[in-house]
Chain A
Amino acid sequence: MAAPGRALRYVAVRPGLAIGLSIVAILAMGAILAPLLAPFPGDAGNDTNLLATLQPPGGVHPLGTDLAGRDVWSRILFGVRISVGVSVVIIVAALAVGVPVGLFAGAAGGALDALLMRIVDIFLAFPSLLLALAIAATLGPSMEHAAIAIVVSWWPWYARLMRGEAAAIRGRAYVEAARLLGIAPWRVTLRHILPNAIGPVIVQSSLDLGGVILTFAALSFLGLGAQDPTPEWGLMVEQGRTLTSTQPWVALFPGAAIMVAALAFTLLGEGLRERLDPKGVARP
């Protein structure tokens, strides 16, 4: 598609996008290289070191240790795989459900459209965090259940967004032209409507990734998501919650990691919006 030079220039004039991309790249590197970069890889698992509990940052523990004597820095590094990695999987799963539903509702119109959108409305009637909480609580506390809960509460947003875009594109001249060329309806939908309608959905999903990271951390914080010893950031904040006045590093650093990751994906989404969803950009 775009020449690499053009893509570089596009990023260069958008500092927010450049920062977002850099942080995402660093997070990806951290997730991949965690076993090499972490000074105490075992601390992300079942290891404990009761002789070195609640060590302040410095020395062999750059970000200190927690109540079980585990190296906070090592756990944050491995936590990228959980907190960001699982969030990416959640978004992809929500897209995998929401995009086809919205696409076919919008492209078909009529009764199918009405039926699918009423189902979507039922889901959207509940605040998504509340719905995720209720589902996670019903399924029982585990990381997988928390992820399923978020997917269930999130996909209707993509269905509705996709439906609106597809319905708008359906009336375009090139869709009519495609049908007049004898192209079958399903092919018109996939080849001529989908590629022209997906842009805003991609932007939205990138913006949402920050929100999903926060929601996933929140569920773990509330005890409904990841369970000890999983190095999930929200869970780590919860474990340091009572120590904030005496040993703040236990909660502070995982909390900062959540914030930085959420911010990075928001910056990334905003930066992509201009390219993929020009009408959503506020002009100065």
Chain B
Amino acid sequence: MNPDAPLLSIRDLVIEIRGRRLVDVAELSVDRGQIVGLVGESGAGKSLLLSSILGLLPADATVRGSIIFDGVELRGVSERLLREVRGRRIAVVLQAARAALTPTLRAGTWIERALVLHRVPAAERRSRIAHALDAVRLDPALLRRYPHQLSGGEAQRVAIALAVALHAELLLADEATSALDVTVQAEVAELFRELRLTEGTSILIVSHDLALVAGLADRIDIIADGSIVERGGPSVLSKPQHRVTREMVAANPTLERVQGVAP
């Protein structure tokens, strides 16, 4: 495999549900070790795009185009092969942090089971989990807890720790910080930055939060009505060209304004 080729490369991807074209992306790629932000308003097709990467679209959706991950076309691949990719090579961190953990399983059991599923040898599991907990700065004692006994930030760290323990090469963060309060958001964002440095993880951050993405991403793609309408470094936000980008920048309250409103 060519190490210079993008880790993830999407081309001419069209997703239609009941005749409505919801996603139409000509080109989207994530290089190795890169953090890419995909920013758009709700309903712009961000989540659908993510689901399509892992082949988990609703049954009534039709897909055309190409999704190449590490040199391999994922479209049309067997369900069994896709399951090998899911979690182990491409991990997803969802918005609903606590709700994304199965309530009847302890956090530690949840991680352990996923490692067993992806055939991580028993001898390696303990050290991988220890390393992952260290990487996300999570107290090992929390692994004995059930999801309802964790805070949102802790639950999100558990999910990210699993991605680290599975040595996921690509992390898809689907509004992963949106449900957290501001200080925890900053901690999770910092965690993403560190993961890229220490683990070499590539990250695709999907969010409507411009400020967060601007502080993290090497490149930002703005998506509107299913298509990428603007693209560039974090500077796209200072000189927005497209109408949607301008609107989002304008709608994003500056820190001063937030402080002015809060009592």
Residues of A within 8 A of B (CB): 110, 172-174, 176-184, 191-192, 195-196
- Tell whether A196 pairs with B94 under 8 Å between CB atoms, given A110-B59, A182-B118: no
| Contact call A196/B56, Cβ cutoff below 8 A | no
Residues in B with CB closer than 8 Å to A195 are 102, 104
- CA A173 to CA B175, docked complex, whole Å: 13
Complex: A173 Cα to B159 Cα, angstroms: 13
Decide if B99 touches A174 in the complex (CB within 8 Å): yes
Main SS of chain B's interface residues?
mixed
Bitwise, B72-106 to A at CB < 8 A (1) or not (0) is: 00000000001111111001101010011111100
- How many Å lie between the Cα of A172 and that of B117 in the bound state? 21
Interface residues on B, range: 20 to 34
B54, B100, B101 — most chain A CB neighbours (10 Å) = B100
Contact flag A180-B102 (CB < 8 Å), given A110-B59, A173-B94, A173-B96 = no
**In the complex, are the beta carbons of B99 and A182 less than 8 A apart?**
no
Residues of A contacting B117 in the complex (Cβ-Cβ under 8 angstroms) = 181-183
Q: Fill in one digit per residue for B166-182: 1 if any A CB lies within 8 Å of its CB, else 0.
A: 00000000000000000
Question: Can you list 20 A-B contacts with CB-CB less than 8 angstroms, sorted by A residue number?
Answer: A172-B99, A174-B103, A177-B92, A177-B101, A177-B159, A179-B56, A180-B56, A180-B91, A180-B92, A181-B87, A181-B114, A182-B82, A182-B84, A182-B85, A182-B87, A182-B118, A184-B83, A192-B102, A195-B104, A196-B102
Across the interface, which residues of A come within 8 angstroms of B94, CB to CB?
173, 176-177, 180
Q: Is the CB of B86 within 8 A of A182?
A: yes
Chain B residue with the shortest CB-CB distance to A193: B102
- 11 additional contacts (CB under 8 A) given A177-B102, A182-B117: A174-B100, A176-B56, A176-B94, A177-B159, A179-B56, A180-B54, A180-B87, A181-B162, A182-B118, A183-B117, A184-B83
Q: Chain A residues near B99: list those with CB within 8 A.
A: 172-174
Q: A110-B59, A173-B94 are in contact. Are A182 and B83 (CB under 8 A)?
A: yes
